[in-house]
Amino acid sequence: MNSIHPTAQLIGEVTLGSGNLIGPLVVIIGPVTIGDDNWIGTGAVIGAPPEVRSWQHPMDAAGLDTGKGIVIGDRNVIREYVQIHQGWHDITRVGNDVFLMNQSYIAHDCTVEDRATLASSVLLAGHVRVGVGANLGLGSSVHQRCYIAEGAMVGMGSVVTRNVPPFAKAYGNPARVHGANVVGMERAEIPAGTIGAAVSTYALPFDDALESLVGAAGLERALAGWLRHGTE
């Protein structure tokens, strides 16, 4: 069973799992697939066309459900007035246990992986990827095609114009790495020796220093993600 407020609008091909709450004035425009036990707050808009100048915006309300689609997993919290746009070249994806605070924005073709947090008014441009457990602070913005790697923390108000490596702290305009996210690593139960190595590593220019963390216990998945997405 899903709880859908009577003022919410589900348009086109929208597929829901079970246990979802869809609040007042929510608009969902397919193609959208949503899993189980998600909480979607007042005024969220999920499935508007990609914001691309060359996109042929439909002039008939019956044709609003266009795009490559959106897939949202399970147990996510999507707060008031969040916007998630349709994919342009690929599906826009939100994983599981993600927390999207009010007025955050996920553009076309983005991927937000499991347990990531976007604070209020975070802006993701097109094709951005946010890794597992990453945390983006209030009002930060991310340039298109950037990768925020697993466990990274981005400070409030930051402007991210380049990839942020795993379990790093980055802040500023433009954002730069300023050490390791020790608290995030401890919460991820990464061994103390690896945490110490990361603290030393992120005191150096990370483009060179990341090589020293290859093989460090507890960072295997994060570094594999970096090699796939962060070096593009």
C-alpha angle 213-227-166 in degrees, rounded to nearest 5: 55
For residue 220, tell me if it sits in a domain: no
Nearest to 218 by CA among 201, 200, 193: 193
Is 226 a residue whose pLDDT tops 90? no
For residue 166, tell me if it sits in a domain: yes
Given pLDDT bands bounded at 50, 70 and 90, which one contains residue 208?
A: low
For residue 190, tell me if it sits in a domain: no
pLDDT (tens digit per residue) in 23-81: 999 999 999 999 999 999 999 999 999 999 988 887 877 667 778 999 999 999 999 99
Task: Return the amino acid letter for 163.
Answer: N
37 Cα distance to chain centroid: 18
Total structural domains within the chain: 1
Using CA atoms, how far apart are residues 47 and 27, in angstroms rounded to an integer?
Answer: 8
Is 180 a residue whose pLDDT tops 90? yes
Structural domain of 169 = 3-181
Q: Which residue has the tokens 């996210």?
A: 181
Residue 197 dihedral angles phi and psi, to the nearest 5° = -65, -40
Given pLDDT bands bounded at 50, 70 and 90, which one contains residue 199?
A: very high
Using CA atoms, how far apart are residues 88 and 192, in angstroms rounded to an integer?
Answer: 42
Burial class (CB in 10 A: 0-12, 13-18, 19+), 102: middle
- Ranges 17-26, 102-111, 150-159, 218-227: which has the least confidence: 218-227
Is the bond preceding residue 174 a cis peptide, omega within 30 degrees? yes
Whole-angstrom CA distances from 10 to 32, 46, 48 are 10, 10, 12
Is 12 a residue whose pLDDT tops 70? yes
For residue 217, tell me if it sits in a domain: no
Using CA atoms, how far apart are residues 45 and 193, in angstroms rounded to an integer?
Answer: 44
Would you say 14 and 30 are in contact if contact means Cβ atoms under 8 Å apart?
yes
C-alpha angle 78-102-168 in degrees, rounded to nearest 5: 85
For residue 32, tell me if it sits in a domain: yes
Which has the higher per-residue pLDDT, 220 or 208? 220
Residue 167 dihedral angles phi and psi, to the nearest 5° = 55, 30
Is 232 a residue whose pLDDT tops 70? no
For residue 191, tell me if it sits in a domain: no
What does DSSP say about strands 123-124 and 135-136: parallel, antiparallel, or unpaired? Answer: unpaired
Residue 100 structure tokens: 């999207």
For residue 214, tell me if it sits in a domain: no
CATH number for the domain harbouring residue 12: 2.160.10.10
What predicted TM-score, i.e. pTM, was given to this entire model? 0.92
For residue 165, tell me if it sits in a domain: yes
